[in-house]
Amino acid sequence: MDVFMQAAIDEAKKGLAEGGIPIGSVMVINRRIVGSGHNKRVQDGDPVMHAEIDCLRSAGRVGRYKDAVLYSTLMPCYLCAGAVVQFGIKKVIVGESKNFEGARAFMEAHGVEVVDLDLPECKDMMAEFIQKNPALWFEDIGKL
C-alpha cells in the first residue's frame, strides 16, 4: 500500500470515528504530505467541507500546485474536482470509484491525470457506510 494512500485511508477512518462520512484526502508535494483532511460535513455542519476541501485548507497557501498530487479515498465530486482544476493540480490518485463515479471525466478534460487504484479497503469502507447510512450519503452527494 502506498504510504500516501494509507494516510488518506487513515483520514477517512478518523471521519468515520467522529460520526462523519469516511472519505479522506492528502496532498503531496515532493514526496511529502503538505495537507490532510477528511469529510467533515456532519461534524462541522458545513455542506462544502468535503475531504479534498479540508485537505486544501490544511495545506494552506502553497503557491504553485502544479507539482502537487492529491490522494483521495473516493473519486472527487464536481465541487472537489473544480478545486483541483482551479488550483492547477495535475494528478489525482483515488482509492475507488465503484461507489461513486464522481467527476473523473471533468478532471481529465481539464488535463488532470486521474489514477483509480480500485482498492478493496476503500470500496468496502464506503459500501458499508452507504448501506448503514443511505440518507446521509444521498445528502452528501446531493441526491436526497
Q: What residue spans define the domains of the chain?
A: 3-141
Q: For residue 126, what pLDDT is reported?
A: 97
Of 18, 52, 96, 121, which residue is the catalytic one? Answer: 52
Catalytic residue flag (residue 52) = yes
pLDDT attached to residue 1: 61
Q: What pLDDT score does 63 carry?
A: 87
- For residue range 67-81, what is the model confidence (pLDDT) as tens digits? 999 999 999 999 999
Backbone φ and ψ for 33, nearest 5 degrees, come out as: -70, 125
> How does strand 32-38 pair with strand 24-29?
antiparallel
pTM of the model: 0.96
Sign of CA pseudo-dihedral 126, 131, 136, 142: positive
Looking at CATH, the fold of the domain delimited by 3-141 is given as Cytidine Deaminase; domain 2 (3.40.140)
Question: Which residues, listed in sequence order, are joined to residue 135 by a DSSP beta bridge?
Answer: none
- Residue 64: exposed, middle, or buried by beta-carbon count in 10 A (0-12, 13-18, 19+)? exposed
Torsion, Cα of 43, 49, 53, 59 (10° steps):
-40
pLDDT < 50 stretches in the chain:
none
